């Protein structure tokens, strides 16, 4: 039995001659397309692996930077609290105006931010930096 329908008898001779070659060529083309698709798939997989490695490296670096910043803040907070305890113990500190004490605290924070601007702390401290303070008639601070 024939695999496909019989060609009509009126089919031109040149088409009959090409029929066998046509099938052979189309099989070769399909085989080549399949190999090309496999190659492209392999390239896509390797590109995805490279990209995943790149993303994972970036995540590791970000996590490392975060840990460094976190330890830095813990150390700075401890140092600041120790300095505050030392200053708090002095008798002249109790007589100082609360507005002055707050102003010195803001000054210390702005100095800290200026010193460590390269670490990206200005983004973390941006809550304090755009605000300005002034005292009202009663001597209390007003955040602007």
d(CA 62, CA 56): 10
Of 142, 143, 144, 139, give the one whose Cα is nearest residue 98: 139
Model's pTM, two decimal places? 0.35
The domain spans of the chain are 13-95, 97-144
pLDDT in tens, 64-115: 888 888 888 888 888 888 888 887 766 555 566 777 777 777 777 777 766 6
Helix (H) or strand (E) segment spanning residue 82: helix 13-89
DSSP state of 92: H
Helix (H) or strand (E) segment spanning residue 105: helix 98-115
């Amino acid at each position: 039995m024939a695999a496909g329908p019989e060609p009509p008898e009126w089919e031109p001779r040149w088409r009959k001659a090409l029929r066998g070659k046509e099938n052979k060529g189309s099989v070769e083309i399909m085989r080549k397309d399949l190999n090309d698709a496999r190659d492209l798939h392999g390239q896509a997989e390797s590109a995805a692996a490279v990209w995943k490695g790149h993303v994972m490296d970036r995540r590791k670096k970000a996590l490392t930077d975060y840990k460094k910043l976190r330890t830095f803040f813990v150390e700075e907070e401890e140092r600041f609290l120790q300095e505050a305890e030392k200053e708090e113990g002095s008798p002249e500190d109790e007589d100082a105006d609360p507005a002055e004490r707050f102003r010195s605290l803001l000054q210390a924070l702005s100095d800290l931010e200026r010193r460590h601007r390269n670490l990206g702390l200005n983004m973390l401290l941006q809550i304090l930096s755009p605000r300005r303070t002034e005292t009202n008639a009663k001597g209390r601070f007003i955040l602007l």
